[in-house]
Amino acid sequence: MPKNSMEPASRRFIRRFCLLTALVAATLALAVGPRAEAASSDFKMYEGFKTLARIFYEINVKFVEEPDSTEMVNGAVRGMLNTLDPHSSYLTPEEMNEFQQETGGSFTGVGMELSVKDSVVTVVAPIDDTPAFRAGIMSGDQLVSIDDKSTLDMSVMEVVKLIRGPLGTKVTITVNRPSTKRVLTFTLTRDHIPLRSVRSEELTPGIGYIHISNFQADTAAEVEKAIRTLGATSPLEGLVLDLRNDPGGLLEQSIRVSGLFVGEVLVVETRGRFDEQNVDYNSDQTAVLPLNCPLVVLVNEGSASASEIVAGALQDYGRATILGAKTFGKGSVQSVVRLPDGSGLRLTTARFFTPSGRPIQSEGITPDVEVPSLLPRNYKPTREVDLERHLLGANEKNRRSGPAVAEVDESEGDEETDSPAMPDKPIREMTLAERLEYDKQLNQALEMLKKGQVRSGFNGVDPKRRHKAMG
């Protein structure tokens, strides 16, 4: 019998793992070496892999019980990514499949965009017309438990697994609302999220409305169809494009949607560490909405990523009036790599900049016309700058500044002011009069269009030259 057949399984694992880490270190050294200014960085990386291999060895031969090697590797990978920004993550094969379903718009849940703030899984924004939105879950709510299971030390993906489930089943979510110092419990019925990416309607004769809940594979085609349908009987005299509580989605779709309003121009730039990450993204779309048609874009604290790209581009070119509240400020690029075992690596590789060169990361998009969102008194929404390990924005000095702390008014207020007056039925089922009473941002956008207070200043000029000329 061969000698190594008697070798304990744990030692065989460690021997192979050490061999693998040495190989990976050498491979990375070759890949990174040409870019590195000093060879010492490659040596430090190799030494780090040696330390990692030694720790694996010690655990396998000395831990009180036989460890799960797969869980150990997954834990090590997650630990590496946890030192980076909040949007870089490791996806198991199951999570990778769920991620692909999300971008296709066909998953079942309650409708919340989640991230980590102050080491707690926190709601970035509820998606409009979803169970979470209708129940009154808000940006900044901290998830305490799911079906009585504590979320302490859970990752976002672990929480997502608990929230999702079969269509029509119920899930109970307990949240802490820091701004009001209240713990709230919601029992929600799971639904398809989102029901669809694009909704449209005529608000008044000649004035259309298009809402994008997120950017999926067919979003641009659906927006184009909506524009053509709204203008089928008579030319549009104005349009409201609603990007509120839109957490983003596919970059390519945000570029194509922008092109429907400005044509074949630069929409967004990315800038990273290396030249190949510095890319100008131009739309290949012909403008479908007439360039002289007044356009108002609605944004709020939940508008992030792809929706900020669209709002920033239309603002830079003077094509639209941006109305609402300052956006979330998620201006980083995530590249997703499928690994051989079906798992995936979601890694931040660059930052987004608007056509005029303005950074989106941590800065967000500031509206031309600010109309506050309907929020509880003393409520501080969560934005990118509040997330742990967020990438620097242009106005931030420290790479790892501590998490922002919400300022809370200690004075006691009326009970009614603790929560906003949320509608008691889905927005899409409300009459226009009911919506305008509840939705002050939409109300003002419509009034501005009716009164001719919105003008398109788009002339196709490079926004960088335009901004320099304006001083």
Average pLDDT over residues 453-461: 81
Q: Hey, which residues are catalytic here?
A: 305, 316, 330
Structural domain boundaries in the chain: 3-67, 198-359+370-380+423-469
Short-list 355, 156, 167, CA closest to 267: 355
What is the structure's pLDDT at 431?
A: 80
- Whether the model clears a pTM of 0.85, i.e. scores above it, the answer is no
Q: Is 191 helix (H, G, I), strand (E, B) or coil?
A: strand
Q: Any idea which of 40-49, 198-207, 224-233, 289-298 has the lowest mean pLDDT?
A: 40-49
CA dist 330 and 85 (Å) reads 11
Question: Which of the two residues, 295 and 90, has the higher pLDDT score?
Answer: 295
Answer yes or no: is pLDDT of 308 > 90: yes
Short-list 236, 366, 229, CA closest to 297: 366
Q: Band of the pLDDT at 42, cuts 50, 70, 90?
A: low
What is the structure's pLDDT at 175?
A: 95
Domain 198-359+370-380+423-469, what fold?
A: 2-enoyl-CoA Hydratase; Chain A, domain 1 (3.90.226)
CA dist 220 and 258 (Å) reads 9
What is the structure's pLDDT at 428?
A: 62
What is the structure's pLDDT at 400?
A: 41
Span 157-194, pLDDT tens digits? 889 889 988 889 999 999 999 878 889 999 999 988 76
Q: Torsion-angle region of residue 353: left (phi > 0), alpha (psi -120 to 50) or beta?
A: beta
**Phi and psi dihedrals of 143, rounded to 5?**
-80, 120
Span 375-392, pLDDT tens digits? 776 777 888 888 888 888
CA dist 338 and 350 (Å) reads 19
Span 222-258, pLDDT tens digits? 999 999 999 998 899 999 999 999 999 899 999 999 9
Span 193-224, pLDDT tens digits? 765 789 999 999 999 999 998 898 899 999 99
CA dist 364 and 367 (Å) reads 10
Short-list 134, 74, 2, 25, CA closest to 344: 74
Q: Any idea which of 98-102, 128-132, 243-247, 281-285 has the lowest mean pLDDT?
A: 98-102
Q: Which residues of 356-392 are buried (b: 16+ CB within 10 A; e: fewer)?
A: bebbbbbbbbebeeebebebbebbbbbbbbbbbebbb
Count Cβ atoms below 10 Å from residue 252 Cβ, excluding itself: 14
454-457: list long-range contacts, CB under 8 Å, 24+ apart.
454/238, 454/294, 454/295, 454/296, 454/321, 455/294, 456/291, 456/292, 456/293, 456/294, 456/295, 456/318, 456/319, 456/320, 457/317, 457/318, 457/319
**Is the previous residue joined to 194 through a cis bond, with omega within 30 degrees of 0?**
yes
Question: Which of the two residues, 271 and 30, has the higher pLDDT score?
Answer: 271
CA dist 86 and 74 (Å) reads 17
CA atoms within 13 A on the CB side of 18: 14
Q: Which DSSP category does 114 fall into?
A: E
